[in-house]
Amino acid sequence: MIEVKNLVKRYGDLIALDHFNLNVRSGEIFGLLGPNGSGKTTAINCMLSLLKYDKGEIRLFGEPMTPNNYRSKQKIGVVMQNVAVFNELTVYENIDYFCGLYVNDKRKRKELVEEALRFAGLEDFRKFIPKKLSGGLLRRLNIACGIAHKPELIFLDEPTVAVDPQSRNNILEGIKKLNREGATIIYTSHYMEEVEQLCTRIMIMDKGKEIATGTKEELKAMIRTGEKLTVELFDLPEPLLSEIRRVKDVIQASFDGEKLSVNCKTGSHAMISILDLLRQNGMHFGRVYSEPPTLNDVFLEITGKQLRD
């Protein structure tokens, strides 16, 4: 569906995309996950031929993507990061306008607009102008405008930023439904939980470059951390922390005054050894729990910094 090779985009001295590569297959919900400024929006705008780039090749549907490739554009839906609707048109008229860019037949279009209204849960707001909508409903309108013509390939750029949890769930469920009905999805976000919940494959990016790509399981298997252990503790003397760091299979350990956090390798017996050490040293501890690593741990281990803002 999408093939991007060696894409370079500069804004003056700043390299926003640095030999960026991407392959998306038909039927995927592909996530681009990266901190703010990592180049997600720039990559999307280049793929859509909305932005000129310095170098590289972009093919969509097996054809080179150019500003005049209307055959490909017809099959694409775009939901931009910044809401782009007409303030003077109602909810219904906005969806009808964007759908009308692709669908001429009035009767067919009416059906599609009604379906998009239902899809976004906006039936009761059809006569509202955008100014009267809450932030979450406005985002849903933005999405309805982008998908009403039933595109095969849908780009969604951070569609859940600053929306209430109810709209967020509506949006995420809606995206899954579009995918079940056959659309291939490109989804950008800086929220790792969302990407993990939604996407079949994920590319983690930073500074305009691919850091790693795979399913969430594959990404987590790329790092040394296989398990994160947390122990609630009131106090932990420095020498004992040093001793914990020397336990077999411990990658790193820290204490923040309330809890001990330890990253261990997969399938290790470090947890038992650590709890034994604490007990032998007369330390009383509260809750103990173990969790698998997150995509933040993947980002942290590869780049040395946190994904979270």
Ligand X SMILES: Nc1ncnc2c1ncn2[C@@H]1O[C@H](COP(=O)(O)OP(=O)(O)O)[C@@H](O)[C@H]1O
Residue 38 found at the interface with Mg ion (CB under 5 A):
no
Q: Which of 216, 217, 190 is nearest to 202 (CA)?
A: 216
Minimum CB separation from ligand X for residue 78, in Å? 14
CA 213 to centroid of chain Cα atoms: 13
Nearer residue to ligand X within complex by CB, 34 or 146: 34
Least Å distance, CB 17 to ligand X, is 8
Kindly provide the b/e burial profile for residues 4-39, where b requires at least 16 CB atoms within 10 angstroms of the residue's own CB.
Answer: beebbbeeeeebbbbebebebeeebbbbbbbbeebb
189 binds Mg ion, rule: CB under 5 A: no
Amino acid at 100: G
d(CA 5, CA 15): 16
**Which of Mg ion, ligand X, none lies near 38, with the C-beta cut-off 5 to 8 A by kind?**
ligand X
Stretch in the footprint of Mg ion (CB under 5 A) among 78-86, 131-139, 194-202, 269-277: 78-86
41 binding Mg ion? (CB under 5 A): yes
Partner in contact with 184, chosen from ligand X, Mg ion, none, beta carbon below 5 to 8 Å by kind: none
Phi, psi of 271 (to 5 degrees): -60, -45
Minimal distance, residue 60 CB to Mg ion, in Å: 20
End-to-end C-alpha distance for the chain, whole angstroms: 32
Residue 37 touches which member of ligand X, Mg ion, none, C-beta under 5-8 Å by kind: ligand X
Least Å distance between CB 187 and Mg ion? 12
CB of 186 to Mg ion, least distance (A): 13
| Alpha carbons 252 and 36: distance in angstroms, whole number | 27
Instruction: Give the residue with the Cβ less far from Mg ion, 39 or 77.
Output: 39
Query: Parallel, antiparallel, or unpaired for β 76-79 and 153-157?
Result: parallel
Query: Which of residues 36 and 87 has its CB atom nearest to Mg ion in the complex?
Result: 36
**Nearer Cβ to Mg ion, position 21 or 81?**
81
Cα–Cα distance measured from residue 209 to residue 182, given in angstroms and rounded to the nearest whole number? 29
Of the listed pieces 77-85, 105-113, 170-178, 268-276, which binds Mg ion according to CB under 5 A? Answer: 77-85
Give me the numbers of helices (H) and strands (E) for the chain, helices first please. 11, 14
Per CB under 6 A, residues contacting ligand X are: 11, 14, 16, 34, 36-42
Residue 39 or residue 174: which is nearer to ligand X going by CB?
Answer: 39
Which is nearer to ligand X, 78 or 278 (by Cβ)? 78
Q: Among residues 264, 239, 236, 268, which one has the least CA distance to residue 252? A: 264
Closest separation in Å from C-beta 217 to Mg ion: 26
Q: Between residues 12 and 304, which has the closer beta carbon with respect to ligand X? A: 12
Q: Three-state SS for 67?
A: coil
Residues that bind Mg ion (CB under 5 A): 40-41, 81
